[in-house]
Copies of this chain bind each other. A is one copy, B any other.
């Protein structure tokens, strides 16, 4: 969670991924050259191809890792901590906290991911879309459970869930680590706002 790339075996590959995230965030996929990425990673232009078969695969590694890690964070944020099964309100608060904090903590990688999603080839896009639907589905399920049980007051289940997830994801677009808020503070604020949006009853 602390370092997105700690699971990557090769040190050079990790440096390439970190360099790629910074350059893709600054210039976009088409604007960041493989030469520049390799140079920032301290390698010759050709060395990237030892670790990634194409520039597109380097991007996909970033996008896939971001989605895997974000989904795991939401699952962890929504796991029952107190009793046998937490209330829908507690579950949603925990998941929204985790999703917003993730997009603060990993804002550059998440921003690259959102910006370049549309350029994925169909097969890869299908995989990623499945992971996105799964993550949003975790939250939608709790929203539906809370609405069915009368703990929430929600007229538009899918629209409200979508808005909550969208709000969390968009943190990556404006969040700046030198700004006034820590990722945990953003998570706490957004958990509160999501509860408000759902009309959580006292």
Instruction: List residues of chain A with CB under 8 Å of any chain B CB.
Output: 25-32, 114-116, 118-119, 156, 159-160, 162-163, 166-167, 169-171, 173-174, 181, 186, 189-190, 193, 196-197, 199
* Cα–Cα, bound, A119→B114 (Å): 16
> How far is the CB of A98 from the nearest CB of chain B, in Å?
16
Majority secondary structure, A binding face: helix
Q: Can you tell how many copies of this chain the complex includes?
A: 2
* Cα–Cα, bound, A193→B196 (Å): 8
Known: A166-B170, A170-B169, A189-B156. Is A27-B30 also a contact (CB below 8 A)? yes
14 A–B pairs (Cβ distance < 8 Å), ordered by A:
A26-B119, A28-B28, A28-B29, A29-B30, A31-B119, A156-B189, A160-B193, A163-B190, A166-B170, A166-B171, A166-B174, A167-B170, A170-B170, A197-B197
> How far is the CB of A177 from the nearest CB of chain B, in Å?
15
* Cα–Cα, bound, A159→B160 (Å): 20
**CB-based contact B189/A159 at 8 Å:** yes
